[in-house]
Amino acid sequence: MVGAACALYAARAGLDVRVVDRGPVAGGTTGAGEGNLLVSDKEPGPELDLALLSARLWAHLGDELGAAVEYEPKGGLVVASTPETLAALHVFAKGQRSAGVVADPVSADRLPSLEPHLAPGLAGGMHYPQDAQVMPALAAAHLLRASGARLHTGRTVTGVLRTADGTVAGVRTDRGDLHARAVVNAAGTWGGDLAALAGVRLPVLPRRGFVLVTEPLPRMVRHKVYAADYVADVASDSAALRTSPVVEGTAAGPVLIGASRERVGFDRSLSLAAVRALAAGAIGLFPFLQRVRALRSYAGFRPYLPDHLPAIGPDLRVPGLFHACGHEGAGIGLAVGTGQLIAQALTGKTPELDLTPFRPERFEQAGTDGGDTA
């Protein structure tokens, strides 16, 4: 998704772009997650600024590509089960509003008008009209098509070509060299490996997540609905399993229940504990789900950097190398803002957001990677 967005905006900025992927389109984490485009779960700061930029760009792409990418500006609804969580949600939303987020309080008695099938007895919630949704694999495919970039799938990057003075000159692949004056590392969870091919360190790590998929249903869940505790789980540094459900209906009918978070390396084995906790949490929000069959679950590995911010921009250690990876659980949403910023950096324009918080060299000092090995 991130590579597709970089290709789109770089091509629209006038560059000749080639996209190389060792797998098919959306064969990485993009095909193994969900498509929530959220501003609601982000606290004020660089990630929220990028989410707001991305939300604007997604809205334009929604006009352009619309149904093809299943773009739905449906809004998010965050619910609180206790007065204490609701009070904390109000404080959180106040900070977000000062950063440009629209957050409308919803009293307990108004919740059913937004979501008729929600559990009774909730303390209240917050409505976030800027939250939206896309179907990630379709979005990646359509953005690539719209870019007009030449696509080399089934081709693995095995090296980064450099000139005598160390400047990037393209990539070596298992099917020959591709020459270019700039290379963008959009290798997601494998972004650290790609950086290593260019001789630099970028500590991207996998954070596993499961999603439960129900049988197709008529539209019972209208918004992106999640419990207020979700924000704490996303920001958590814990390696242990954390699950606070995000429930969403899809255009195709199934309800998606995501997503767990745990750091267990690239272990693909099914975790019953994770999917049980997701199911229980979702039933807590929407009791009708108790009578609905879960058809399958799937897992993916979020590309995670120790400070929970992606690496975006030029790598000052290797002229011509750019990074666009490490977006953790928000890479679908943040992809388009990232693509825009990368295109601006590639063409020598001043990026419309300050790239300092995202700079790829920020982990150079010893001890800044939190000692993670998972």
Ligand X SMILES: Cc1cc2nc3c(=O)[nH]c(=O)nc-3n(C[C@H](O)[C@H](O)[C@H](O)COP(=O)(O)OP(=O)(O)OC[C@H]3O[C@@H](n4cnc5c(N)ncnc54)[C@H](O)[C@@H]3O)c2cc1C
| Helices (runs of H) and strands (runs of E) counted in the chain | 9, 18
Residue 153 in the binding site for ligand X (CB under 6 A): no
Q: Which residues have C-beta within 8 Å of that of residue 336, sequence separation ≥ 6?
A: 5, 8, 9, 54, 57, 58, 61
Of 327, 336, 339, 355, which lies in the binding site for ligand X, with binding defined by CB under 6 A?
327
209 binds ligand X per the rule CB under 6 A: yes
Q: Which of 76, 188, 192, 249 binds ligand X (CB under 6 A)?
A: 188
Token representation of residue 172: 């070596």
Parallel/antiparallel/unpaired status of strands 157-162 and 168-173: antiparallel
Would you count residue 61 as binding ligand X (CB under 6 A)?
A: no
Closest CA to 155 of 312, 370, 357, 3: 3
CA–CA distance, 162 with 168 (Å, rounded to integer): 4
333 is a site residue for ligand X (CB under 6 A):
yes
Determine if 170 is a binding residue for ligand X (CB under 6 A).
Answer: no
**Residue 186 or 345: which CB sits closer to ligand X?**
186
Q: What is the dihedral sign for C-alpha 20, 25, 31, 36? A: positive
Alpha helices for 168-229 (secondary structure H): 191-197
Of 127, 223, 263, 302, the residue at the interface with ligand X (CB under 6 A) is 302
Question: Which range binds ligand X by CB under 6 A, 93-101, 114-122, 232-240, 325-333?
Answer: 325-333
Instruction: Output 124 or 209, the one with its CB closest to ligand X.
Output: 209
Q: Does residue number 320 form part of the binding site for ligand X (CB under 6 A)?
A: no
The answer to whether residue 249 forms part of the interface with ligand X (CB under 6 A) is no
Region of 92-100, 226-234, 330-338, 354-362 interacting with ligand X (CB under 6 A): 330-338
Task: Confirm if 185 and 321 have CB atoms less than 8 A apart.
Answer: yes
Report the residue number, 77 or 186, with the smaller CB distance to ligand X. Answer: 186
Q: Which stretch binds ligand X (CB under 6 A): 95-103, 142-150, 212-220, 324-332?
A: 324-332
Selected binder of ligand X within 81, 96, 130, 189 (CB under 6 A): 189
Sole binder of ligand X in the list 53, 211, 225, 279 (CB under 6 A): 211
By beta-carbon proximity to ligand X, the closer residue of 127 and 261 is: 261
For residue 54 the two structure tokens come to 């991305």
Yes or no: say if 11 and 146 are a contact pair by the CB < 8 Å rule. no
Does the footprint of ligand X cover residue 124 (CB under 6 A)? no
Among the listed residues 62, 170, 192, 258, the single contact to ligand X using CB under 6 A: 258
Instruction: Give the interface size with ligand X as a residue count (CB under 6 A).
Output: 39
**Does residue 3 interact with ligand X by CB under 6 A?**
yes
Q: Within 10 A of 194 (CB to CB), how many other CB atoms are there?
A: 23
- Shortest distance, CB of residue 92 to ligand X, whole angstroms? 19
> Are 315 and 323 within 8 A, CB to CB?
yes
The reply on whether position 300 binds ligand X by CB under 6 A is yes
What's the closest the beta carbon of residue 338 comes to ligand X, in angstroms? Answer: 9
CA distance 33 to 133: 12
Residue showing tokens 């904390």: 88
Cis peptide before 259 (omega within 30 of 0): yes
* 58 interacts with ligand X by CB under 6 A: no
Q: How far is the CB of 242 from ligand X (least distance, A)?
A: 12
Closest to 168 measured CA to CA, from 306, 275, 323, 311: 323
Identify which of 294, 302, 301, 300 has the alpha carbon closest to the alpha carbon of residue 278. Answer: 294
Candidate list 156, 163, 290, 347; residue touching ligand X; CB under 6 A: 156
Paired sense of beta strands 224-227 and 76-80, if any: parallel
Place of tokens 């590309």: 303
**What are the residues binding ligand X (CB under 6 A)?**
1-3, 20-23, 27-30, 32-36, 156-157, 186-190, 194, 209, 211, 258-259, 300, 302-303, 325, 327-333
